[in-house]
Amino acid sequence: MKRVFALLLALAMVLALAACGSKDPADDAKPMAIRVAGMKGPTSMGMVKLMEDDEKGESFHDYAFTIATSADEITPKLKQGEYDIAAVPANLASILYNNMEGQVKLLAINTLGVVYIVEKGNTVQSLADLRGKTIYATGKGTTPEYALNYLLSESGLDMEKDVTMEWKSEPTEVVQILKKAESGVAMLPQPFVTVAQGNVEGLRVAADLNQIWKDLDNGSMFLTGTLVVRTEFAEKNPEALAAFLKEYAASTKWVNENPGEAAKLVEKAGIVKADVAQKAIPYCNITCITGKEMQAAMNGYLKVLLDCNEKSVGGKLPDEAFYYVG
């Protein structure tokens, strides 16, 4: 009888230890102030529900959100410690890690491929048809440029020799050019593809770069946006960060499942108009990938970029410390 009791007691202790080991770190979190920055576009659209909850006082943490026009507005303030978490282009996360000597970590992938080739006309059926064309685009020095460079090379084209790139600072500039021209080709991300189609008569999607990347079956994923966190913040506040990720993941899920309601919040955040957002959300590939899955996807993507241009990732692949896996 004593042996049976001892075995039962030992089993109970094992189960108790297992339960402690599987405890969610977010359960021990205490509410705190967190400063979050994002850009106008899909990389911030997934957080609009969290922004609304915060405004209503219904979020766990007390957030201060900033929506910027470009990554150039976010980067210096992130370096200066004015933001704790930021949504930035995927390749920029690697560049920041390398340039800031590990002072930031990759927290999550928040957007898959959202970049498209659009045409006012009907001459482009594949990327090979871009030979000799002028392409109006945004995103020089970030994910769109390096992704297009890679995909063009896979289609037998050289970005430097076979196409002419006209880089603009904002998608609205590209839209105005297409609106005035009789014909033209551009590279735009969602939701600005939808904006352009509402303003430019006869504009069509000629190529989905995300689908083209998938069709290559190269063992990687086309990534557009990520969340990075300051290393100091992550190390000091692991429980708070776990609670943030829970809230953020819930927000992205809600946006994808409720595009109509989410569109109103996207407009409220000053990203794009609600009617545009509602049409665009299903094509924005908003997500929240964390942990080991995030690490595998990001590492594969960065290897592809590195092979094309080492500057695209900051000169080298980030080491293991780049990935915040909880």
DSSP-assigned letters across all residues of 54-103: HHTT-SSSEEEEEEESSHHHHHHHHHTTS-SEEEEEHHHHHHHHHHTTT-
Locate the DSSP E strands across the chain. Answer: 33-39, 62-68, 85-89, 104-112, 115-120, 134-137, 164-167, 184-189, 203-208, 223-230, 286-289
**CB 302 within 8 Å of CB 82:** no
What tens digit of pLDDT does each residue of 151-183 get? 999 999 999 999 999 999 888 899 999 999 889
User: Taking all residues of the chain, what is their mean pLDDT, rounded to a whole number?
Assistant: 90
Task: Give the model's pLDDT for residue 22.
Answer: 52
Q: Tokens standing for 159?
A: 């970005």
Reported pTM: 0.83
d(CA 49, CA 255): 7
Element of type H or E holding 212: helix 209-216
What tens digit of pLDDT does each residue of 258-314 get? 999 999 999 999 998 999 999 999 999 999 999 999 999 999 999 999 988 899 999
d(CA 47, CA 247): 9
Q: How far is C-alpha 194 from the chain's CA centre?
A: 18
Omega before residue 189 within 30° of 0, cis: no
HSE-up of residue 71 (Cα within 13 Å, Cβ side) = 21
Element of type H or E holding 94: helix 90-99
Other Cβ atoms less than 10 A from the Cβ of 170: the count is: 13
- Strand 203-208 vs strand 223-230: parallel, antiparallel, or unpaired? unpaired
